Structure 1
Amino acid sequence: MLWHALPRFAEGVVAPVAVFYAAFVLLGLNGALVAAVSWVYGGIVWRKVRGQGVPGLLILAALGVTVRAGLAAVTHSPVVYFLQPTLGTLMVSMTFLASVPLNRPLARKVATDMVPMPEAFLRHERVHRFFLRISLLWSLVFAINAAISLWILFNESIGTYLWVRTGLVAALGAVAVAVSVLGFRRCLRHVNAEPAG
Protein backbone atom coordinates (compact mmCIF):
# COMPACT_ATOMS: atom_id res chain seq x y z
CA MET A 1 0.00 0.00 0.00
CA LEU A 2 2.86 2.37 0.84
CA TRP A 3 4.58 1.74 -2.52
CA HIS A 4 1.25 2.37 -4.20
CA ALA A 5 0.72 5.61 -2.26
CA LEU A 6 4.25 7.04 -2.58
CA PRO A 7 4.05 8.07 -6.26
CA ARG A 8 0.62 9.61 -5.63
CA PHE A 9 2.03 11.53 -2.66
CA ALA A 10 4.92 12.82 -4.78
CA GLU A 11 2.57 13.77 -7.62
CA GLY A 12 -0.14 15.26 -5.45
CA VAL A 13 1.80 16.91 -2.61
CA VAL A 14 5.54 17.37 -3.25
CA ALA A 15 5.53 18.24 -6.97
CA PRO A 16 2.73 20.87 -6.80
CA VAL A 17 4.58 22.69 -4.00
CA ALA A 18 7.83 22.61 -5.99
CA VAL A 19 6.08 23.75 -9.19
CA PHE A 20 4.21 26.59 -7.43
CA TYR A 21 7.27 27.81 -5.52
CA ALA A 22 9.61 27.71 -8.52
CA ALA A 23 7.10 29.61 -10.65
CA PHE A 24 6.41 32.04 -7.78
CA VAL A 25 10.12 32.87 -7.47
CA LEU A 26 10.71 33.09 -11.22
CA LEU A 27 7.41 34.48 -12.53
CA GLY A 28 5.54 36.00 -9.57
CA LEU A 29 2.08 35.18 -8.28
CA ASN A 30 0.24 35.00 -11.61
CA GLY A 31 2.93 32.75 -13.10
CA ALA A 32 2.70 30.48 -10.06
CA LEU A 33 -1.08 30.29 -10.38
CA VAL A 34 -0.83 29.38 -14.07
CA ALA A 35 1.82 26.76 -13.25
CA ALA A 36 -0.33 25.23 -10.49
CA VAL A 37 -3.37 24.98 -12.75
CA SER A 38 -1.23 23.64 -15.61
CA TRP A 39 0.22 20.96 -13.33
CA VAL A 40 -3.21 19.59 -12.45
CA TYR A 41 -4.57 19.68 -16.01
CA GLY A 42 -1.27 18.25 -17.26
CA GLY A 43 -1.85 15.27 -14.96
CA ILE A 44 -5.27 14.74 -16.51
CA VAL A 45 -3.89 14.97 -20.06
CA TRP A 46 -1.01 12.60 -19.16
CA ARG A 47 -3.48 9.98 -17.92
CA LYS A 48 -5.61 10.36 -21.06
CA VAL A 49 -2.58 10.02 -23.36
CA ARG A 50 -1.50 6.86 -21.53
CA GLY A 51 -5.01 5.43 -21.83
CA GLN A 52 -5.62 5.51 -18.07
CA GLY A 53 -8.88 6.51 -16.48
CA VAL A 54 -9.09 9.91 -14.84
CA PRO A 55 -10.32 9.63 -11.24
CA GLY A 56 -13.32 11.76 -10.39
CA LEU A 57 -11.40 13.27 -7.48
CA LEU A 58 -8.74 14.53 -9.87
CA ILE A 59 -11.37 16.28 -11.97
CA LEU A 60 -12.82 17.85 -8.83
CA ALA A 61 -9.31 18.88 -7.77
CA ALA A 62 -8.76 20.51 -11.17
CA LEU A 63 -11.98 22.49 -10.85
CA GLY A 64 -11.08 23.48 -7.30
CA VAL A 65 -7.59 24.64 -8.28
CA THR A 66 -9.05 26.63 -11.16
CA VAL A 67 -11.48 28.45 -8.87
CA ARG A 68 -8.78 29.03 -6.21
CA ALA A 69 -6.34 30.37 -8.80
CA GLY A 70 -9.01 32.65 -10.26
CA LEU A 71 -9.88 34.10 -6.85
CA ALA A 72 -6.20 34.54 -5.97
CA ALA A 73 -5.55 36.29 -9.30
CA VAL A 74 -8.51 38.65 -8.80
CA THR A 75 -7.50 39.50 -5.23
CA HIS A 76 -3.73 39.48 -6.00
CA SER A 77 -3.25 37.44 -2.83
CA PRO A 78 -1.48 34.10 -2.51
CA VAL A 79 -3.06 33.84 0.96
CA VAL A 80 -6.47 33.46 -0.72
CA TYR A 81 -5.08 30.59 -2.83
CA PHE A 82 -3.86 28.65 0.20
CA LEU A 83 -6.62 29.60 2.63
CA GLN A 84 -9.33 27.62 0.83
CA PRO A 85 -7.71 24.15 1.06
CA THR A 86 -6.79 24.83 4.68
CA LEU A 87 -10.43 25.52 5.49
CA GLY A 88 -11.26 22.33 3.58
CA THR A 89 -8.82 20.43 5.81
CA LEU A 90 -10.62 21.80 8.85
CA MET A 91 -13.93 20.55 7.42
CA VAL A 92 -12.42 17.10 6.86
CA SER A 93 -11.33 17.09 10.50
CA MET A 94 -14.86 17.93 11.62
CA THR A 95 -16.29 15.22 9.35
CA PHE A 96 -14.02 12.55 10.87
CA LEU A 97 -15.00 13.78 14.34
CA ALA A 98 -18.75 13.83 13.57
CA SER A 99 -18.61 10.26 12.25
CA VAL A 100 -17.67 8.92 15.71
CA PRO A 101 -20.82 9.80 17.72
CA LEU A 102 -22.87 8.73 14.69
CA ASN A 103 -21.18 5.31 15.08
CA ARG A 104 -20.25 5.36 11.38
CA PRO A 105 -16.46 5.88 11.48
CA LEU A 106 -15.20 7.64 8.39
CA ALA A 107 -11.84 5.86 8.73
CA ARG A 108 -13.62 2.59 7.94
CA LYS A 109 -15.05 4.03 4.71
CA VAL A 110 -11.66 5.40 3.66
CA ALA A 111 -9.92 2.09 4.46
CA THR A 112 -12.47 -0.04 2.59
CA ASP A 113 -12.26 2.27 -0.42
CA MET A 114 -8.52 1.51 -0.58
CA VAL A 115 -8.56 -2.16 0.43
CA PRO A 116 -11.67 -4.36 0.17
CA MET A 117 -12.39 -6.17 3.46
CA PRO A 118 -14.94 -8.88 4.28
CA GLU A 119 -18.17 -7.57 5.81
CA ALA A 120 -18.00 -10.14 8.64
CA PHE A 121 -14.57 -8.80 9.61
CA LEU A 122 -15.82 -5.21 9.55
CA ARG A 123 -18.77 -6.11 11.80
CA HIS A 124 -16.44 -7.47 14.50
CA GLU A 125 -16.69 -5.31 17.65
CA ARG A 126 -12.91 -4.90 18.05
CA VAL A 127 -12.55 -3.84 14.41
CA HIS A 128 -15.41 -1.36 14.80
CA ARG A 129 -13.77 0.14 17.92
CA PHE A 130 -10.47 0.38 16.04
CA PHE A 131 -12.06 2.41 13.24
CA LEU A 132 -13.79 4.69 15.77
CA ARG A 133 -10.44 5.41 17.47
CA ILE A 134 -8.63 5.92 14.18
CA SER A 135 -11.36 8.34 13.06
CA LEU A 136 -10.66 10.36 16.21
CA LEU A 137 -6.92 10.22 15.49
CA TRP A 138 -7.38 11.49 11.93
CA SER A 139 -9.75 14.19 13.12
CA LEU A 140 -6.98 15.42 15.43
CA VAL A 141 -4.35 15.14 12.67
CA PHE A 142 -6.40 17.23 10.24
CA ALA A 143 -7.23 19.80 12.96
CA ILE A 144 -3.53 20.20 13.83
CA ASN A 145 -2.73 20.38 10.11
CA ALA A 146 -5.25 23.22 9.67
CA ALA A 147 -4.03 25.08 12.78
CA ILE A 148 -0.37 24.87 11.70
CA SER A 149 -1.28 25.91 8.16
CA LEU A 150 -3.32 28.92 9.28
CA TRP A 151 -0.67 30.11 11.71
CA ILE A 152 2.15 29.87 9.14
CA LEU A 153 -0.01 31.34 6.37
CA PHE A 154 -0.82 34.48 8.38
CA ASN A 155 2.53 34.88 10.14
CA GLU A 156 5.24 33.84 7.67
CA SER A 157 6.21 34.29 4.03
CA ILE A 158 4.69 32.18 1.26
CA GLY A 159 8.04 30.39 0.79
CA THR A 160 8.12 29.47 4.48
CA TYR A 161 4.48 28.41 4.29
CA LEU A 162 5.12 26.14 1.32
CA TRP A 163 8.18 24.34 2.64
CA VAL A 164 7.75 24.35 6.42
CA ARG A 165 4.04 23.57 6.32
CA THR A 166 4.56 20.81 3.74
CA GLY A 167 7.32 19.24 5.84
CA LEU A 168 5.39 19.45 9.10
CA VAL A 169 2.18 18.14 7.58
CA ALA A 170 4.03 15.28 5.86
CA ALA A 171 5.75 14.33 9.13
CA LEU A 172 2.49 14.50 11.06
CA GLY A 173 0.74 12.44 8.39
CA ALA A 174 3.55 9.86 8.40
CA VAL A 175 3.25 9.44 12.18
CA ALA A 176 -0.54 9.08 11.90
CA VAL A 177 -0.18 6.51 9.11
CA ALA A 178 2.34 4.54 11.20
CA VAL A 179 0.01 4.60 14.23
CA SER A 180 -2.91 3.55 12.01
CA VAL A 181 -1.01 0.65 10.42
CA LEU A 182 0.42 -0.59 13.72
CA GLY A 183 -2.99 -0.30 15.37
CA PHE A 184 -4.61 -2.22 12.53
CA ARG A 185 -2.00 -4.98 12.75
CA ARG A 186 -2.60 -5.23 16.50
CA CYS A 187 -6.35 -5.36 15.90
CA LEU A 188 -5.84 -8.14 13.31
CA ARG A 189 -3.71 -10.17 15.72
CA HIS A 190 -6.45 -10.01 18.38
CA VAL A 191 -9.22 -10.88 15.94
CA ASN A 192 -7.24 -13.77 14.44
CA ALA A 193 -6.37 -15.11 17.91
CA GLU A 194 -10.05 -15.49 18.82
CA PRO A 195 -11.62 -18.90 18.32
CA ALA A 196 -13.89 -19.22 15.29
CA GLY A 197 -17.50 -18.50 16.25
Structure 2
Amino acid sequence: MTLLDRPAPLPSVQHVPAGGHCFELPRLTAMLRHALPRFVEGVIAPVAVFYAALVLLGLNGALVAAVTWVYGGIAWRYLRTGSVPGMLMLAGLGVTVRAGLAAATHSPVIYFLQPTLGTLLVSMAFLASVPLGRPLAQKLATDMVPMPEAFLEHARVRRFFLRISLLWSMVFLTNALFSLWMLFNESIATFLWVRTGVVTLLGALAVAVSLYGFRRCLHHVNGEPVPA
Protein backbone atom coordinates (compact mmCIF):
# COMPACT_ATOMS: atom_id res chain seq x y z
CA MET A 1 0.00 0.00 0.00
CA THR A 2 1.18 3.48 -0.82
CA LEU A 3 -1.41 5.72 0.78
CA LEU A 4 -2.38 4.86 4.33
CA ASP A 5 -5.29 7.17 4.91
CA ARG A 6 -7.66 5.86 7.55
CA PRO A 7 -10.99 4.78 5.98
CA ALA A 8 -14.15 6.63 6.91
CA PRO A 9 -17.04 4.66 8.47
CA LEU A 10 -19.46 3.12 6.03
CA PRO A 11 -23.00 4.53 5.93
CA SER A 12 -26.33 2.84 6.60
CA VAL A 13 -25.37 0.80 9.66
CA GLN A 14 -28.39 -0.28 11.68
CA HIS A 15 -28.58 -1.99 15.06
CA VAL A 16 -31.04 -2.54 17.86
CA PRO A 17 -31.12 -0.50 21.08
CA ALA A 18 -28.59 -1.18 23.84
CA GLY A 19 -28.93 -4.64 25.31
CA GLY A 20 -29.61 -6.40 22.01
CA HIS A 21 -27.12 -8.11 19.76
CA CYS A 22 -28.75 -7.68 16.34
CA PHE A 23 -26.73 -5.97 13.63
CA GLU A 24 -27.23 -5.38 9.90
CA LEU A 25 -24.34 -5.22 7.44
CA PRO A 26 -24.38 -2.22 5.07
CA ARG A 27 -25.41 -2.95 1.49
CA LEU A 28 -22.73 -4.49 -0.72
CA THR A 29 -22.94 -1.60 -3.19
CA ALA A 30 -22.19 0.88 -0.38
CA MET A 31 -19.15 -1.12 0.69
CA LEU A 32 -17.88 -1.32 -2.88
CA ARG A 33 -18.30 2.43 -3.38
CA HIS A 34 -16.32 2.91 -0.19
CA ALA A 35 -13.51 0.45 -0.96
CA LEU A 36 -13.01 0.65 -4.73
CA PRO A 37 -11.56 4.20 -4.94
CA ARG A 38 -9.11 3.39 -2.15
CA PHE A 39 -8.09 0.16 -3.88
CA VAL A 40 -7.45 1.96 -7.16
CA GLU A 41 -5.57 4.76 -5.40
CA GLY A 42 -3.50 2.55 -3.12
CA VAL A 43 -2.82 -0.53 -5.31
CA ILE A 44 -3.50 -0.10 -9.03
CA ALA A 45 -2.44 3.52 -9.59
CA PRO A 46 1.01 3.29 -7.90
CA VAL A 47 1.88 0.21 -9.97
CA ALA A 48 0.74 1.90 -13.19
CA VAL A 49 2.64 5.10 -12.36
CA PHE A 50 5.85 3.25 -11.48
CA TYR A 51 5.73 0.98 -14.53
CA ALA A 52 4.96 3.80 -16.98
CA ALA A 53 7.82 5.89 -15.60
CA LEU A 54 10.14 2.86 -15.61
CA VAL A 55 9.48 2.27 -19.32
CA LEU A 56 9.72 5.94 -20.31
CA LEU A 57 12.31 7.33 -17.89
CA GLY A 58 14.23 4.41 -16.43
CA LEU A 59 14.68 3.38 -12.79
CA ASN A 60 15.47 6.81 -11.35
CA GLY A 61 12.51 8.34 -13.18
CA ALA A 62 10.24 5.62 -11.81
CA LEU A 63 11.47 6.26 -8.27
CA VAL A 64 10.85 10.00 -8.64
CA ALA A 65 7.37 9.27 -10.02
CA ALA A 66 6.58 6.98 -7.07
CA VAL A 67 7.64 9.61 -4.54
CA THR A 68 5.74 12.31 -6.45
CA TRP A 69 2.59 10.16 -6.41
CA VAL A 70 2.71 9.80 -2.62
CA TYR A 71 3.39 13.48 -1.92
CA GLY A 72 0.74 14.42 -4.47
CA GLY A 73 -1.73 12.42 -2.39
CA ILE A 74 -0.56 14.19 0.75
CA ALA A 75 -0.99 17.60 -0.90
CA TRP A 76 -4.46 16.65 -2.18
CA ARG A 77 -5.62 15.68 1.30
CA TYR A 78 -4.21 18.86 2.79
CA LEU A 79 -6.02 21.00 0.24
CA ARG A 80 -9.27 19.10 0.85
CA THR A 81 -9.22 18.83 4.64
CA GLY A 82 -6.57 21.25 5.88
CA SER A 83 -4.71 18.47 7.69
CA VAL A 84 -2.73 15.31 6.90
CA PRO A 85 -2.91 12.10 8.98
CA GLY A 86 0.33 11.24 10.74
CA MET A 87 0.34 7.74 9.23
CA LEU A 88 0.21 9.24 5.74
CA MET A 89 3.20 11.44 6.51
CA LEU A 90 5.10 8.38 7.76
CA ALA A 91 4.16 6.57 4.54
CA GLY A 92 5.61 9.46 2.53
CA LEU A 93 8.81 9.38 4.58
CA GLY A 94 9.07 5.61 4.14
CA VAL A 95 8.67 5.82 0.37
CA THR A 96 11.29 8.59 0.22
CA VAL A 97 13.83 6.50 2.15
CA ARG A 98 13.10 3.40 0.03
CA ALA A 99 13.46 5.38 -3.18
CA GLY A 100 16.74 6.93 -1.98
CA LEU A 101 18.20 3.53 -1.12
CA ALA A 102 17.06 2.05 -4.43
CA ALA A 103 18.61 4.95 -6.36
CA ALA A 104 21.87 4.69 -4.41
CA THR A 105 22.17 0.94 -5.02
CA HIS A 106 20.68 1.05 -8.54
CA SER A 107 18.42 -1.83 -7.45
CA PRO A 108 14.62 -1.71 -7.73
CA VAL A 109 14.56 -4.83 -5.53
CA ILE A 110 15.45 -2.62 -2.55
CA TYR A 111 12.41 -0.42 -3.25
CA PHE A 112 9.94 -3.33 -3.21
CA LEU A 113 11.59 -5.45 -0.53
CA GLN A 114 10.53 -3.31 2.44
CA PRO A 115 6.75 -3.35 1.81
CA THR A 116 6.95 -7.08 1.10
CA LEU A 117 8.62 -7.69 4.45
CA GLY A 118 5.99 -5.39 5.96
CA THR A 119 3.28 -7.68 4.58
CA LEU A 120 5.01 -10.59 6.31
CA LEU A 121 4.90 -8.69 9.60
CA VAL A 122 1.18 -7.96 9.10
CA SER A 123 0.62 -11.69 8.65
CA MET A 124 2.38 -12.36 11.95
CA ALA A 125 0.30 -9.66 13.66
CA PHE A 126 -2.96 -11.29 12.51
CA LEU A 127 -1.69 -14.67 13.68
CA ALA A 128 -0.52 -13.40 17.08
CA SER A 129 -3.85 -11.67 17.73
CA VAL A 130 -5.70 -15.02 17.77
CA PRO A 131 -4.16 -16.68 20.88
CA LEU A 132 -4.28 -13.29 22.59
CA GLY A 133 -8.07 -13.28 22.15
CA ARG A 134 -7.99 -9.89 20.44
CA PRO A 135 -8.54 -10.73 16.77
CA LEU A 136 -7.10 -8.07 14.51
CA ALA A 137 -9.83 -8.69 11.95
CA GLN A 138 -12.39 -7.45 14.49
CA LYS A 139 -10.42 -4.27 15.17
CA LEU A 140 -10.17 -3.46 11.46
CA ALA A 141 -13.84 -4.30 10.84
CA THR A 142 -15.06 -2.04 13.64
CA ASP A 143 -12.84 0.79 12.36
CA MET A 144 -14.77 0.64 9.07
CA VAL A 145 -18.24 -0.30 10.33
CA PRO A 146 -19.28 0.71 13.88
CA MET A 147 -20.83 -2.27 15.67
CA PRO A 148 -22.68 -2.44 19.02
CA GLU A 149 -20.72 -3.94 21.92
CA ALA A 150 -23.44 -6.50 22.66
CA PHE A 151 -23.09 -7.85 19.13
CA LEU A 152 -19.29 -8.05 19.34
CA GLU A 153 -19.46 -9.92 22.66
CA HIS A 154 -21.61 -12.71 21.21
CA ALA A 155 -19.71 -16.02 21.26
CA ARG A 156 -20.43 -16.82 17.61
CA VAL A 157 -19.21 -13.37 16.53
CA ARG A 158 -16.03 -13.81 18.55
CA ARG A 159 -15.36 -17.19 16.95
CA PHE A 160 -15.96 -15.72 13.49
CA PHE A 161 -13.41 -12.95 13.94
CA LEU A 162 -10.84 -15.38 15.35
CA ARG A 163 -11.20 -17.63 12.29
CA ILE A 164 -11.12 -14.71 9.86
CA SER A 165 -7.96 -13.41 11.52
CA LEU A 166 -6.37 -16.80 10.83
CA LEU A 167 -7.58 -16.64 7.23
CA TRP A 168 -6.08 -13.20 6.65
CA SER A 169 -2.86 -14.26 8.34
CA MET A 170 -2.53 -17.01 5.73
CA VAL A 171 -3.49 -14.61 2.92
CA PHE A 172 -0.81 -12.09 3.89
CA LEU A 173 1.76 -14.85 4.40
CA THR A 174 1.07 -16.26 0.93
CA ASN A 175 1.21 -12.74 -0.48
CA ALA A 176 4.61 -12.08 1.11
CA LEU A 177 6.19 -15.41 0.16
CA PHE A 178 4.95 -15.22 -3.42
CA SER A 179 6.12 -11.60 -3.71
CA LEU A 180 9.58 -12.48 -2.39
CA TRP A 181 9.91 -15.33 -4.86
CA MET A 182 8.81 -13.10 -7.75
CA LEU A 183 11.07 -10.26 -6.64
CA PHE A 184 14.23 -12.39 -6.66
CA ASN A 185 13.42 -14.62 -9.64
CA GLU A 186 11.59 -12.46 -12.20
CA SER A 187 12.01 -9.10 -13.89
CA ILE A 188 10.57 -6.01 -12.24
CA ALA A 189 7.94 -5.67 -14.99
CA THR A 190 6.79 -9.27 -14.42
CA PHE A 191 6.88 -8.74 -10.67
CA LEU A 192 4.73 -5.61 -10.89
CA TRP A 193 1.92 -7.03 -13.01
CA VAL A 194 1.88 -10.74 -12.14
CA ARG A 195 2.31 -10.08 -8.43
CA THR A 196 -0.36 -7.36 -8.48
CA GLY A 197 -2.79 -9.62 -10.34
CA VAL A 198 -2.22 -12.63 -8.07
CA VAL A 199 -2.40 -10.58 -4.89
CA THR A 200 -5.57 -8.83 -6.07
CA LEU A 201 -7.22 -12.15 -6.91
CA LEU A 202 -6.16 -13.68 -3.60
CA GLY A 203 -7.43 -10.65 -1.69
CA ALA A 204 -10.74 -10.64 -3.57
CA LEU A 205 -11.30 -14.32 -2.74
CA ALA A 206 -10.49 -13.68 0.92
CA VAL A 207 -12.89 -10.72 1.00
CA ALA A 208 -15.62 -12.85 -0.57
CA VAL A 209 -15.07 -15.62 1.98
CA SER A 210 -15.04 -13.06 4.82
CA LEU A 211 -18.29 -11.43 3.68
CA TYR A 212 -20.00 -14.79 3.13
CA GLY A 213 -18.92 -15.99 6.56
CA PHE A 214 -20.00 -12.76 8.21
CA ARG A 215 -23.43 -12.89 6.58
CA ARG A 216 -23.88 -16.48 7.82
CA CYS A 217 -22.82 -15.34 11.28
CA LEU A 218 -25.32 -12.45 11.14
CA HIS A 219 -28.08 -14.81 10.05
CA HIS A 220 -27.57 -17.02 13.11
CA VAL A 221 -27.02 -14.20 15.60
CA ASN A 222 -29.92 -12.04 14.40
CA GLY A 223 -32.19 -15.10 14.47
CA GLU A 224 -31.68 -15.55 18.20
CA PRO A 225 -34.11 -13.94 20.66
CA VAL A 226 -32.97 -10.61 22.09
CA PRO A 227 -32.44 -10.73 25.89
CA ALA A 228 -35.17 -8.94 27.83
How many residues align structurally? Answer: 197
Structure 1 unmatched ranges of 5 or more: none
User: Which residue of 107, 119, 123 maps to 2:149?
Assistant: 119
Structure 2 unmatched ranges of 5 or more: 1-30
Match of 1:130 in 2: 160
Q: Moved runs in structure 1, 4+ residues, more than 4 A?
A: none
Match of 1:68 in 2: 98
Local SS of the residue matching 1:79: helix
In the alignment, structure 1 residue 32 sits paired with structure 2 residue 62: yes
Aligned counterparts of 1:62 and 1:114: Cα–Cα separation in 2: 23
Q: Deviation per CA, 1:143-179, whole angstroms, max 9, x where unpaired?
A: 0000110111011000000000000000000000111
Match of 2:41 in 1: 11
Aligned counterparts of 2:38 and 2:83: Cα–Cα separation in 1: 15
Aligned counterparts of 1:147 and 1:3: Cα–Cα separation in 2: 31
Match of 2:120 in 1: 90
CA drift of 1:74 comes to 1.3
Aligned counterparts of 2:82 and 2:219: Cα–Cα separation in 1: 37
The residue correspondences of 1:23-62 to structure 2 (distance < 5 A) are 23-51=53-81, 53-62=83-92
CA drift of 1:52 comes to 5.8
User: Which residue of 199, 214, 225 maps to 1:169?
Assistant: 199
What code does the residue aligned with 1:71 have? L
Aligned counterparts of 2:193 and 2:207: Cα–Cα separation in 1: 21
Aligned counterparts of 1:144 and 1:17: Cα–Cα separation in 2: 20
Aligned counterparts of 1:101 and 1:33: Cα–Cα separation in 2: 40
CA drift of 1:49 comes to 2.1
Aligned counterparts of 2:160 and 2:80: Cα–Cα separation in 1: 39
Match of 2:224 in 1: 194
CA drift of 1:54 comes to 2.9
TM-score, length basis structure 2: 0.84
CA drift of 1:64 comes to 1.2
Match of 1:181 in 2: 211
Match of 1:101 in 2: 131
Over the aligned positions, Cα root-mean-square deviation in angstroms equals: 1.0
CA drift of 1:193 comes to 0.8
User: Which residue of 102, 124, 149 maps to 2:179?
Assistant: 149
Q: Deviation per CA, 1:71-119, whole angstroms, max 9, x where unpaired?
A: 1111110000001000000000000000001111000000011111101
Aligned counterparts of 1:59 and 1:179: Cα–Cα separation in 2: 33
CA drift of 1:59 comes to 1.8
Match of 2:18 in 1: none
Q: Deviation per CA, 1:55-76, whole angstroms, max 9, x where unpaired?
A: 3332221111111111111111
Aligned counterparts of 2:226 and 2:81: Cα–Cα separation in 1: 45
Stretch of structure 1 that moved more, 43-52 or 91-100: 43-52
Q: Deviation per CA, 1:2-28, whole angstroms, max 9, x where unpaired?
A: 211100110111000000001111111
TM-score, length basis structure 1: 0.97
What code does the residue aligned with 2:94 have? G
